[in-house]
Structure 1
Amino acid sequence: MSYLIPSYFLIIKEEDLEELRSDLWNDDPVPAYLKVENVTYDIDIAYRGSYTRKFRKRSYWIGFVKPEHCSGSREIHLNAEYKDPSLIRNKLSFDFFQDLGVLSPHSQHINLIRNDSSKGVYLQLESVDDLFLKKRGLPLGPIYYAVNNNANFSLTRDEKRKESLLSGYKRAFGNPSDDDFLHELIYKINTTHLSKYPNEISQYLNVDKYLRWFAGAVCTMNNDGFTHNYALYRNSETGLFEIIPWDYDATWGRKVDGGVMRYDYVPIEGKKANNLCHLLLQVPEFRKLYRNILEEILETIFTVEHLETKVISLHQALRPHVLSDPYKKKTIDIFEGEPEFIFQFIRDRNSYLKKHLVDFD
């Protein structure tokens, strides 16, 4: 099935565009219009991201005002993917996590035209909110974004006790009373004796899905993804927290600046800064489960054979659009070599992880 890349037409008044540009760090949106498939929406638009706001090609948050929804979403994110020479790492990662059975945002590349001027290829990301849950037939429950490295599932950071157990998290959906559930999760993680982990932690966390996310983060090698770049959702029916990946452009062998990250940079145990990952691997039952999950992934999903068609399809669909992207067309030579770069990373990373599976025996 071919991968179609639609065009979105952004219409914004010059004075509103100037207001947007006047302060890169201002999260207050300005009004604009967005035309998608012959429907014109009144929208609010603002820059999104942290360090990425300094790039020439910036990312956007868009909220729909009238109509209030577009394709079942009240807000979307348009990521510039400026430092990813392939433009596909984020999408490849989210689709990979979906194959693992981990909740993951839907993503779709689009062309952005602003006031009749091409702004190039963007990746549209689904917002993780109540509508995200409804689309998947999941019960409503609180959602928290991990917004900085304090979201390390620990009582401390850099050996200093945190002022709050919820430090590092922002509630994206839910009520203030829901904070008690997250507070209790982090407290239990850090105060439960390891011998009681299998029974105790399993009452607060969907351990199987967490370990699948853990294995996915280790395979794709998101160095930043262990202490932020994720969201937490508490299923109100099961009472269990699940983890959702976010911002996975610095993966598949590339750093956040687009440079090369060696295939062995992130160990098979992940980053110890994530206290939950570290503690789960101290429990024989969970350590074995993680090993088995990872071993299965390395034989089936995290292989060139499984991912080759996906990578080539995305690459071929994007190529003509990259050629007309004002921010990317000059690096087309690097873009051309990205599929093989990703394939070689998969081969090297797969081999490295298989070699270290014995560490769990």
Structure 2
Amino acid sequence: MMNDKSLLNYQMYIHPSDIIDLKKDLWNDEPVPGTLTINKRKFDIDVVFRGSHIRKFKKKSYHVSFYKPSHYKGSKEIHLNAEYKDPSLIRNKLSLDFFESIGVLAPQSKHIFLLLNGRSEGVYLELESVDENFLQRRNLPNGPIYYAVDGDANFSLVSDLDKETKKSLELGYERKCGTNQDDQYLQEMIFKVNTLLKEEFEKEIHRYVDVEKYLRWLAGVVLTQNYDGFVHNYALYRNGETGLFEMIPWDYDATWGRDVNGREMSEDYVRINGYNTLTARLLSVKTYRKRYQTILKEILEHQFTIDFIKPQVEQLYTLIRPGIKKDPYKKVHLERFETEPNYIYRFIELRKNYLTANLYKLD
């Protein structure tokens, strides 16, 4: 889903009575029927509001499922994110593209302009769904995919939510594709992470987790400073050939110096060694800790730089600026929108300095 030279219009129609029903109960996940027209091609769809706290915002985000035709560009569903609290509207895409640039599996995305029942809803980010089609498009082996849906997805035996021992090691995860047998592999991995003695852990963990890819993912979370990314905002994929679990980032708008509410986040908010039980155990092993240090150094030198990021920011701003001026929710904040690139560049400098000064902690 590469950027086009201009924003593509998506025309969605939902019967007004169905919109009323959706708004009556924001947390109802029962979809309503609708149509979506893209490039003069009309699709019958099911649509529902998506997200957790974002459902309360004036500008809604949508989960769209195609059923006639059943797929659009190989996808049976897409996510249309309002990016309402991000004054730049680019942080999510910038982050996901950044992960891809450092060798981490990440969903593709593109900005579009949404019209609902003929009314402009503004600039949205279309996000690729992480499912079996995600794997097929990349010629990856089939395997189960789990969404980390809450703080219980912390790779621990203890809940991050109530600090009690978990009743099930599947807590915090929602299986997107796979079988009951796959659930057993997930539970076994989490159990091993928590119960292997240190010497055993170093020898055994590579049989369950693709450690190199995990450390690259960890570097991406730490660099972009997604505080929720360690126990949330990711999908877990078990590669059908290697049998190893890999991490896939998801929902990365709270990054590049701003939190989930768009407020400024200091450059030292997330520590260099990150969080969650699996991270702590891996970084307790000198071999893995030094490898993580090397990965960070390489990315700090090459991808996490203004020279690398600035052309991407400028390209995205050139693309979406005309749409922002027509966005009923964002056009009144145009002046703030225009100042965000410099804010992002400043964050890169500050975060780079902070992390560079703390690399010694990984010795």
TM-score band w.r.t. shorter chain: over 0.9
Is the contact between residue 3 and residue 314 of structure 1 (CA under 8 Å) also seen in structure 2? Answer: no
Contact conserved, 1:154 with 1:190, CA < 8 A, in 2? Answer: yes
- Which residue does the alignment assign to 1:250? 254
Q: CA deviation at 1:2?
A: 5.8
Query: Aligned pair 1:181/2:185, yes or no?
Result: yes
Matched residue of 1:46: which SS? strand
Secondary structure (helix, strand or coil) at the match of 2:174 reads strand
Which runs of no fewer than 5 residues in structure 1 stay unpaired? none
1:170 to 168, 174, 187: 174
Encode CA deviations 1:326-347: one digit per residue, 9 max, x unaligned.
0001111110000000000001
1:192 aligned residue = 196
Partner of residue 294 from structure 1, selected from 283, 286, 296: 296
* C-alpha deviation, 1:4, in angstroms: 3.1
2:217 corresponds to: 213
Structure 2 letter corresponding to 1:210:
Y
Deviations 1:25-49 (A, max 9, x none): 1000000000011110000000000
- Counterpart of 2:127 in structure 1 is 125
Distance in 2 of aligned mates of 1:145 and 1:116: 34
Q: Say which of 101, 105, 108 aligns to 1:106.
A: 108
Q: CA deviation at 1:19?
A: 1.7
Distance (whole Å) between structure 2 residues aligned to residue 230 and residue 40 of structure 1: 32
**1:72 counterpart SS class:** coil
Q: How does 1:212-291 map to 2 (within 5 A)?
A: 212-271=216-275, 274-291=276-293
Distance, in Å, in 2 between the alignment partners of 1:183 and 1:3 is 46
Match of 1:69 in 2: 71
Which amino acid in structure 2 is aligned with residue 37 of structure 1? N
How many residues matched? 359
User: Once the 2 structures are TM-superposed, how far is the Cα of residue 357 of structure 1 from its aligned partner?
Assistant: 0.7
Distance 1:200 1:244 in 2: 22
How far has the Cα of 1:197 moved from its partner? 2.4
Question: For 1:356 and 1:312, how far apart are their aligned partners in 2?
Answer: 30
How far is 1:320 from its partner?
1.2
State the AA in 1 paired with 2:214: Y
2:154 to 152, 158, 161: 152
Q: Secondary structure at the match of 2:230?
A: coil
**Equivalent position to 1:338, from 337, 340, 356:** 340
Matches of 2:359 and 2:4 in 1, distance apart?
Answer: 37
1:160 deviation in Å? 2.0
* Aligned counterparts of 2:187 and 2:325: Cα–Cα separation in 1: 49
Contact map agreement 1:146 1:227 (CA 8 A) in 2 = yes
Q: Which stretch of structure 1 is more off in the superposition, 15-24 or 56-65?
A: 15-24
Of stretches 132-141 and 187-196 in structure 1, the one that deviates more from structure 2 is 187-196
C-alpha distance after superposition, 1:300-345 (max 9, x if no partner): 0000011110011111211111011000011111100000000000
Q: Distance in 2 between matches of 1:167 and 1:210?
A: 21
> Aligned pair in 2 of structure 1 residues 34, 275: CA closer, same or farther (>3 Å)?
same
| C-alpha RMSD over aligned residues | 1.0
Letter in 2 for 1:170: E
TM-score by length of 1: 0.98
How far apart are 1:3 and its partner, in Å? Answer: 4.0
The CA distance in 1 between the partners of 2:293 and 2:200, in whole Å, is: 20
SS at structure 2 position matched to 1:160: coil
Q: 2: distance between equivalents of 1:97 and 1:3?
A: 23
Q: Give 2:87's match in structure 1, choosing from 82, 85, 89.
A: 85
Cα separation, 1, equivalents of 2:69 and 2:126: 19
Residues in 1 aligned to 2:5 and 2:298: alpha-carbon distance in whole angstroms: 28
The residue that corresponds to 1:313 in the other structure is 315
Q: What secondary structure sits across from 2:126 in the alignment?
A: strand
